[in-house]
Structure 1
């Protein structure tokens, strides 16, 4: 029987090539799009699950309010890990990681350095804790000794073969010698350690041994014993404040207690987050690696689901619309003895056949599109053809899709009354128009929501690009690792300054693009109470910093080489003023110190106030910040005159080669560094655009088919209207208007949903656009324009047909 169903289904599909093409093509697009999005979502949800005992691993977070600053950070103090291991019976093991940033390394006895961008210090427990096996070396002892390191396979191969790696020595930043004690495989791309190429031993790193409870620099991970729950750990974790934190802080604030700390509005709270939740549920200051957002996963999951649903809706719509052509077939089958269940199975078989053909075509399209999608999403995904579960999921999904798509048309057509359809009254008795119209409304409502979302994302990105940041990011060339010039740093700066293409130069490791920086507590002279603390960042800059970045002073003056006293001068920003409760002019001459508890503290004197500038992403408020003169020579900012970038870079490179032979010349543009902060939003916007186009394409295919059917169904009506004097334009307008009404209803439904959804997305940004009426006007105009283009072809084709042919049609 099934073979008979299949044979008839194939014949029926061949009889209606236009209908078959529309259904197959739209389902193919929907399945291929859903498949790609499913790969993306699976990859996002799989982060860090490859580590042993990942379900028992948690990270300790800290939420702090102090000195007017609110900090939600992913790090804790150095002593936290060891104390937890000693005091908490629920904890099996702990490990710490401290980001080091980038460094230059070279094999001892060679001159050429290579740069490693992501380097970290780590405890000796790191590899056993996460279950990371070393290709060579002992994971238990690899980082137990000072000045030892473990490299990834890729990093190690830059210097020596893997088998000869153990015992080799590397010179770090031209100063410190480290011994290679292990080589590990490259870390998975869906792990929080993916960006790190080199781990150095925390053993021997002085800061890691200090009892600095309030200096939060270490990512601290705990692994619970089997059977323990995180709830068992949380209450004892809070007790550490009374037992360790406040006794330590009382060295600096003798009278501080938990009660007085809370009464001043300050707080310090520790919390935990599961390892496997970090990538999608954590967005704190100084994350170990760039995280994504669960919101993006939800959004893309809905898009993937909607693509398949839209394609299924097309099948339902076109199948019920074309049921008029098959009404007599159903009547004859029923007359010859077919019962309703047999007809249902026949139509479901047709749906299954179309779904299966679409599945095969979708797999081919997904294979071709995957490299492009990987580039778009920044991932390295592959289709797991060798995995049985992949094919089981695909076949199961195809069966479900067949049932979902084909069930309504099957039950709809199988209930036709044989006597009526064989008498020729099928057209008036078939019905289903209300359901078809509702499905068209649903399709276009989804498409309009996606259009609104795409427009909002790109408008927010344009807002970010055009926002006045308080400094100039254009035409700023940033040269990294300037310390590689040794004691010729100042000479290097002076020679670069002499280049005709260069407008200004500044040496500082602190630039107003997000990076790893710390806040420090400052106090006004004569005031050491914790209630009066000022928590702010302190950047070490040179005399040319403000002028190079075109920052604006609103009070006082810039650093000046004519005044030796500026070595203890300080320039603060407006946010610091707000916390101090002072006006710009009132702050000048104010003396601030961070040497709390010392007999003879050093003071900075405020000589200027700089207008607030964005040094974090636009998701964050501008915090308190100060600038002071100091030696921080990791980077150089060079402002280049318009149009001279190639010659300027060539000239700087020539000076570098002369002063730092054998050292890599690494440079970047500040604008690119700024844009990388919003890379995830840019990728999301591009993904939105691609799948919005696909959803519109699917909706248009359905509308195109319905328009063709509608024109065919109304052939005689059109002929009569033409005979009675109706013009082509009038007929076209009448045929088109019916569909535009449905599109209009779709727009009315989509606008409030799109507004609500994108307002929730924008809540992640402190500085954001307001969703204005123009976005919805553009979305509506685009939807209506697409609908008109889709329907007008069939409408015009029907309107220009010779009325004599129309009236003779049966």
Structure 2
């Protein structure tokens, strides 16, 4: 029986080729989109599951309450590490302290490469469950062992065995390779951990690190833990929450609460607002998951519409089958077999589409996804997915067509009924409602990104170059480097800073001034600079003067941004004296606010002051009279004189600033792609519906033409119903899009107003596409010779 079902279904597909093409293509596109989104969702949900102890690993974080405002961060003071071991050691299997992952120069012989890595406690490899290719996870026990990833091993040693070989970090200390681990996949938070150096060496390498061991106010380190097998994550988190209470004396109004952020939440639930977790990447998982289901639903709607639209064509077939003894369930089975056959053919086509587009999709979303051809689970999911699609697409046609009464059909008195087309109309409205919401949303996302990009940043990004100094060589020879580059004409200004111009690495709370409320706890961005910093980045003075080498007193001077002046309540800031730590600094100038952190957030109060201890970044303003290529060549040559062992690595400020919009732009591109596909599927369905309507009203059109109807009259007759349906869809889509996008924009402190033109352009575009889609069939029918349609009458 099943064989006959599918044979009959195949015969029907061959007979109605255009109808079959539209059904299969529409379903294939919908299934392809759903598969791509499914791969992406799976990749997101499996984030960090590479680590064997995934469910028991956590990062120690803190909520800091300052004057009623709660900020959440991962940076912790170093003494917390020892305090947790001493007071709560029985609750943890591993407690691992770590530096921040940063770029370092690794050298072995003449080979020099730049990779990111961290200094971590000796338990880190075991806790993270690293897959060792050579050596063991105990390689960090001692101050001279070094674990490197497979990529680093290949870059430094090629195919040779790196075990026991010497590697220098930043041309300073030498380490012996004690192990090589498998590269961490991209869908792990620590995927850029290319090497792990011993914490025992790091803690003794700098004087400030020795001081930090007892300083509860220096939040600069990271702390990871693995709880014991019998412990509960929430209970342990609650137990340690007040461990820092009273540890930072003198900070009035400051409250600190420690908590554990489980690894399963690192990626999906990384966003906090006022101490409350507000989700994170999980919001996009839900968004695109629902989007994938909607696009698949649109394709299924096409199948339902076209199948039920042909109801009168198949009415006699159903009547004859019932008359000769077919049961309704047998007819249901027949129609389900047809939909499943279409689903199978569409799945094969969609699989081909996914295989061809996956590399481009990976590039768009920044992932390394692949189809698991050899996985039985993959094929099991595919079979279930195909069956689900076939059943959903064929359910309504099967139940509707099998309900026809054979007596009426065979007597010729069968009529589809006044409301028979209502379900199809509802489905068309649903299709275009979803499509319109997607298009409006895409336009608003891109408008928001452009709005924030156009926000004044307070400095000049054009020609601004940043060099991260991972070693001290350039810093130690900075004056000579500055003189050489200025003399060469490659740059017009050069300065050092402790933070890049597109980020802030340091904050401090030990700031006071005349008139400050003694109960007020404060937090300032803290940036150490050299004299020409303002000239190098092109900041804009609002009051006072810039730093100058002509004033020796500038070593005890400070420049504020406008946000700091407002925060401190200073009416005439220039000349005021601030106490920063143990130093007294005089305010010599105020600069306009600069966007150095998230462009979506309000400006934060910032201090700039001169300090010789500001190694970290060199900021260079390229001479506009030179080509960028020529200037870079001169800069590289000068850097090689003072840091010959370090590869020349640089970043442009405008490129780094552009990265701040990557998530929103990626969301907009994805939504845009899916919106285009949704419209394509919807228009494909409209084309099929218009084609069938023209066929169904073949004789009516002939009669109208004989009676004098023009081509325009016939076009209006066949098009008006679709225009009405699309208009209704737009009326429903507008408030839905308004509400959803307004809610999305409220996440940002700095956001665009909802643009009215996005709704108008979307409406006009969809109506135009509908007219163009329907017009081909309408005009084709209107131009047909009426003799052909009336010759049998």
TM score, norm. by length of structure 1: 0.91
Is 1:590 equivalent to 2:572 in the alignment?
no
CA 1:433 to 1:759, structure 2 compared with 1: closer, same or farther past 3 Å?
A: same
Secondary structure, in 3 states, of the residue corresponding to 2:157?
coil
Query: Hey, what does 1:362 align to over in structure 2?
Result: 350
1:271 to 253, 259, 283: 259
Counting only pairs closer than 5 Å after superposition, residues 483-494 of structure 1 correspond to structure 2 as 483-485=472-474, 487-494=476-483
Query: Hey, what does 2:507 align to over in structure 1?
Result: 519
Deviation at 1:303, TM superposition (A): 1.4
- Aligned equivalents of 2:18, 2:518: Cα separation in 1: 77
**Contact between 1:416 and 1:430, CA under 8 Å: does it hold in 2?**
no
Query: Hey, what does 1:495 align to over in structure 2?
Result: 484
Secondary structure, in 3 states, of the residue corresponding to 2:752?
coil
Secondary structure, in 3 states, of the residue corresponding to 2:690?
helix
- Aligned equivalents of 1:7, 1:430: Cα separation in 2: 34
- Aligned equivalents of 1:489, 1:73: Cα separation in 2: 33
Bigger drift between 506-515 and 402-411 goes to: 506-515
1:581 to 551, 566, 569: 569
Is 1:324 equivalent to 2:302 in the alignment?
no
2:162 to 165, 172, 175: 165
Please give the root-mean-square deviation of Cα atoms over the aligned residues, in Å: 2.4
Query: Hey, what does 1:60 align to over in structure 2?
Result: 60
Secondary structure, in 3 states, of the residue corresponding to 2:334?
helix
Counting only pairs closer than 5 Å after superposition, residues 597-746 of structure 1 correspond to structure 2 as 601-631=582-612, 632-640=614-622, 641=624, 644-746=627-729
**Contact between 2:437 and 2:736, CA under 8 Å: does it hold in 1?**
yes
Is 1:198 equivalent to 2:195 in the alignment?
yes
CA 1:313 to 1:31, structure 2 compared with 1: closer, same or farther past 3 Å?
A: same
**Contact between 1:576 and 1:623, CA under 8 Å: does it hold in 2?**
yes
Deviation at 1:284, TM superposition (A): 6.2
Query: Hey, what does 1:128 align to over in structure 2?
Result: 126
> Residues 516-562 of structure 1: CA distance to partner in whole angstroms, max 9, x if unpaired?
x1211233357898624432122111222222322111111100111
Is 1:97 equivalent to 2:76 in the alignment?
no
CA 1:648 to 1:691, structure 2 compared with 1: closer, same or farther past 3 Å?
A: same
Bigger drift between 328-337 and 86-95 goes to: 86-95
Bigger drift between 390-399 and 209-218 goes to: 209-218
> Residues 70-91 of structure 1: CA distance to partner in whole angstroms, max 9, x if unpaired?
5320232223233333323433
**Contact between 1:48 and 1:275, CA under 8 Å: does it hold in 2?**
yes
Secondary structure, in 3 states, of the residue corresponding to 1:386?
coil
Q: Structure 1 stretches of 5 or more lacking a match? A: 286-290, 596-600
CA 1:398 to 1:720, structure 2 compared with 1: closer, same or farther past 3 Å?
A: same
Is 1:40 equivalent to 2:36 in the alignment?
no
Deviation at 1:203, TM superposition (A): 1.6
- Aligned equivalents of 2:333, 2:418: Cα separation in 1: 20
Secondary structure, in 3 states, of the residue corresponding to 1:534?
coil
Bigger drift between 503-512 and 477-486 goes to: 477-486
Deviation at 1:604, TM superposition (A): 1.4
Counting only pairs closer than 5 Å after superposition, residues 159-238 of structure 1 correspond to structure 2 as 159-160=156-157, 164-204=161-201, 205-206=203-204, 207=209, 210-238=213-241
- Aligned equivalents of 1:155, 1:647: Cα separation in 2: 31
CA 1:148 to 1:748, structure 2 compared with 1: closer, same or farther past 3 Å?
A: same
- Aligned equivalents of 1:484, 1:433: Cα separation in 2: 78
Is 1:793 equivalent to 2:780 in the alignment?
no
CA 1:467 to 1:299, structure 2 compared with 1: closer, same or farther past 3 Å?
A: same
- Aligned equivalents of 2:626, 2:673: Cα separation in 1: 35
CA 1:366 to 1:128, structure 2 compared with 1: closer, same or farther past 3 Å?
A: same
Secondary structure, in 3 states, of the residue corresponding to 2:310?
helix
- Aligned equivalents of 2:490, 2:195: Cα separation in 1: 38
- Aligned equivalents of 2:535, 2:345: Cα separation in 1: 65
- Aligned equivalents of 2:180, 2:561: Cα separation in 1: 46
- Aligned equivalents of 1:74, 1:660: Cα separation in 2: 33
Bigger drift between 393-402 and 53-62 goes to: 53-62
2:386 to 398, 401, 407: 398
**Contact between 2:112 and 2:156, CA under 8 Å: does it hold in 1?**
no
Query: Hey, what does 2:446 align to over in structure 1?
Result: 458
- Aligned equivalents of 1:249, 1:488: Cα separation in 2: 37
Deviation at 1:218, TM superposition (A): 2.7
Query: Hey, what does 1:598 align to over in structure 2?
Result: none
> Residues 131-174 of structure 1: CA distance to partner in whole angstroms, max 9, x if unpaired?
2243233313x223224422111112222257643333322222
Deviation at 1:356, TM superposition (A): 0.8
Bigger drift between 358-367 and 426-435 goes to: 426-435
Deviation at 1:98, TM superposition (A): 1.8
> Residues 280-306 of structure 1: CA distance to partner in whole angstroms, max 9, x if unpaired?
110369xxxxx9611111111011111
Query: Hey, what does 2:276 align to over in structure 1?
Result: none
Q: Structure 2 stretches of 5 or more lacking a match? A: 274-278
**Contact between 2:444 and 2:755, CA under 8 Å: does it hold in 1?**
no
Query: Hey, what does 2:529 align to over in structure 1?
Result: 541
**Contact between 2:163 and 2:179, CA under 8 Å: does it hold in 1?**
yes
Secondary structure, in 3 states, of the residue corresponding to 2:224?
strand
Bigger drift between 503-512 and 777-786 goes to: 503-512
Bigger drift between 419-428 and 586-595 goes to: 419-428
**Contact between 2:506 and 2:527, CA under 8 Å: does it hold in 1?**
no
Query: Hey, what does 1:371 align to over in structure 2?
Result: 359
Secondary structure, in 3 states, of the residue corresponding to 1:192?
coil
Counting only pairs closer than 5 Å after superposition, residues 473-488 of structure 1 correspond to structure 2 as 473-481=461-469, 483-485=472-474, 487-488=476-477
Query: Hey, what does 1:288 align to over in structure 2?
Result: none
- Aligned equivalents of 2:511, 2:35: Cα separation in 1: 58
TM score, norm. by length of structure 2: 0.93
**Contact between 2:452 and 2:600, CA under 8 Å: does it hold in 1?**
no
- Aligned equivalents of 1:745, 1:440: Cα separation in 2: 10
CA 1:602 to 1:729, structure 2 compared with 1: closer, same or farther past 3 Å?
A: same
**Contact between 2:78 and 2:213, CA under 8 Å: does it hold in 1?**
yes
- Aligned equivalents of 1:36, 1:642: Cα separation in 2: 48
Deviation at 1:428, TM superposition (A): 4.2
**Contact between 1:69 and 1:536, CA under 8 Å: does it hold in 2?**
no
Bigger drift between 122-131 and 223-232 goes to: 223-232
Deviation at 1:275, TM superposition (A): 0.6
Give aligned pairs, total: 778
**Contact between 1:718 and 1:803, CA under 8 Å: does it hold in 2?**
yes
Bigger drift between 472-481 and 551-560 goes to: 472-481
CA 1:644 to 1:356, structure 2 compared with 1: closer, same or farther past 3 Å?
A: same
**Contact between 1:112 and 1:663, CA under 8 Å: does it hold in 2?**
no
- Aligned equivalents of 2:395, 2:330: Cα separation in 1: 13
Secondary structure, in 3 states, of the residue corresponding to 1:280?
coil
Deviation at 1:21, TM superposition (A): 0.6
CA 1:567 to 1:681, structure 2 compared with 1: closer, same or farther past 3 Å?
A: same
> Residues 233-290 of structure 1: CA distance to partner in whole angstroms, max 9, x if unpaired?
233223324xxx30x323xx2xx7xxxx5xx4x43222322211110110369xxxxx
